[in-house]
Structure 1
Amino acid sequence: MGWRERGVEIKTPEQIDGMRAAGLVVGRTLELLRGSVHAGITTRELDAIAEDHIRSNGATPSFLGYHGFPGSICTSVNDEVVHGIPGDRVLAEGDLVSIDCGAIVDGWHGDAAISVAIGAVPDEVSSLMRVTEDAMWAGIAAARLGGRVTDISHAVEQHVRAQGDYGIVEEYTGHGIGSAMHQPPNVPNFGRPGRGPKLERGLALAVEPMITLGTRETSVLEDDWTVVTDDGRWAAHYEHTFTLTPDGAWVLTALDGGEERLTSLGVPFGGR
């Protein structure tokens, strides 16, 4: 294991390679789930597909049993922001489901999320999905060796604010990741740049904006997990795990390492 400073775990290049292996399992699982989502499927059926795929690739689901969580993925539908528990809910035409997935390979974690529309959705929902995903990439693109964690936070917020009157959820944030799924530092989706721990080689972070069509205020349901918007407006959630190398950013949970999106944003790609 790499060394720690202020609780921040710094990985060796070999350990980052282990995280890439976990990240690829997560990325491929999410692509399988994206193709499996359809009207009439239950969120529990999606969970079973995910667990089978993760385990068949020699990995372990990060979420299953985590603080008692009963699923291998989180499935958050419509006004549910994050941490939705898979169950008997049947997805219907016009729904929006956010799927969060984590996997462990040889002790190293990967964590990512996507939002998927079932059939046709209103234009405001399509825009919400686009803004949320693009804000995630803007955050990653703002990261530089020698910079600070809130450079990412500021870029996420600036992108969202420029696109319209959206709610940026503040209580739930991105995070450090490595030998545990959640580690210091937190990576908020808002704030001033130039603050927080320094971005250095070997640090891995999960960037995950949660954006709503209305208020940023949320509540937790009686299941003690599912987070919903207080006004009932819908939410989207995207997430990737990334690191920085001397050559640039490397998105460990993107199948192409993030090369296409980073290149389109004029950001050096640091993968291999």
Structure 2
Amino acid sequence: MIHYKTNEQVAIMQQNATTISRILAHVASVLKPGMTTLQIDELCKKMILDEGGTPTFYKYNGYPYNVCASVNDVVVHGFPNNTALKDGDILSLDLGITRNNYVGEHAYTFIIGEVPPEVLQLVKVTKESLYKGIEKAIVGNYVGDIAFAIQEHTERRHGYGVVRELVGHGLGKNMHEDPHVPNYGKRGSGKKLKENLTIAIEPMINLGKKDVFTDKDGWTVKTKDGLPSAHFEHNVCVKKGKALILSDFSIIEEQEKKNLNLNTSYF
């Protein structure tokens, strides 16, 4: 069942989404080689609690951490650990807050130091594809229009692998609601988009092939070919003419640019 929101409920979700953006912006300001993803997990947990919310991911279907920290060939659901991040890593962070009965959650990929040009391009194109999808999240379009736009930009134009097993989704009182929002598909297919549908659009794009596998921990999804993957996610509300983006990358990017440990040369 699809749950359409009132404007008041959308406003609550926007507050939650931008809270996650501010937390990611703080991470962007301190992220550096030598930090561990477990330290980041603890930092994000504290900030979420300080904001009067609870970490949405913790214990969600048994997930044992507060954030998903996916490094290099990990697509999503990476467990935070004590391995030090190093120059040349790319890190995708995905986290959420539940507050006032609604969820805000999104993801962002950071580049630490220097990476090969093809990895820089992967991150750039993946972020671009997110906005290509958002452009189609308007009343009267279909879920397939979002999916097609993302696939067209990443797979057809650049030859990247679009992960099939993991998709975007509706968002509201629960982190995963109807409808599914794939990153691949046909124009005009799927559910018709109506006003105040709130969704998470999240391209998960591999530098190599689309094929992935789940590690023995039952959560960590990796590329089969061992090549890097990038992941960006916005919370979006369907509107007439132009979608309303509930999360805010601009504050994250502002801190990225100030942090000399992070590579923003693709901006």
Superposition TM-score, scaled by structure 1 size: 0.89
Q: Is the 8 A contact 1:131 1:163 kept in 2?
A: no
| 1:101 aligned partner | 95
Q: Is the 8 A contact 2:139 2:241 kept in 1?
A: no
Deviation of the 1:244 alpha carbon = 2.1
Q: 1:247 to 1:213 in 2, by over 3 A?
A: closer
Output one character per residue of 1:10-48: Cα deviation in whole Å (capped at 9) or x when no partner.
111111111111111111111111222210000000011
Where 2:193 maps in the other structure, the secondary structure is coil
1:20 correspondence with 2:14: yes
| 1:244 aligned partner | 238
Q: Percent identity?
A: 38
Distance of 2:235 and 2:124 partners within structure 1: 19
Q: Is the 8 A contact 1:221 1:228 kept in 2?
A: yes
Match of 1:13, as an amino acid?
Answer: N
Q: Is the 8 A contact 1:21 1:105 kept in 2?
A: no
Where 2:68 maps in the other structure, the secondary structure is strand
Where 2:243 maps in the other structure, the secondary structure is strand
Distance of 1:247 and 1:229 partners within structure 2: 37
Distance of 1:80 and 1:219 partners within structure 2: 10
**Correspondence list, 1:64-213, <5 A:** 64-213=58-207
Match of 2:192, as an amino acid?
Answer: K
Superposition TM-score, scaled by structure 2 size: 0.91
Where 1:11 maps in the other structure, the secondary structure is coil
Output one character per residue of 1:75-105: Cα deviation in whole Å (capped at 9) or x when no partner.
0000000000111121011111100111112
| 1:53 aligned partner | 47
1:10 correspondence with 2:12: no
Distance of 1:249 and 1:214 partners within structure 2: 31
**Correspondence list, 1:254-269, <5 A:** 254=248
Q: Is the 8 A contact 1:47 1:71 kept in 2?
A: yes
Deviation of the 1:246 alpha carbon = 3.8
Deviation of the 1:161 alpha carbon = 3.0
Match of 1:77, as an amino acid?
Answer: V
Question: How many residues are aligned here?
Answer: 251
Distance of 1:103 and 1:164 partners within structure 2: 34
1:227 correspondence with 2:225: no
Query: Aligned-residue CA RMSD in angstroms?
Result: 1.4
Q: 1:107 to 1:241 in 2, by over 3 A?
A: same
Distance of 1:20 and 1:45 partners within structure 2: 27
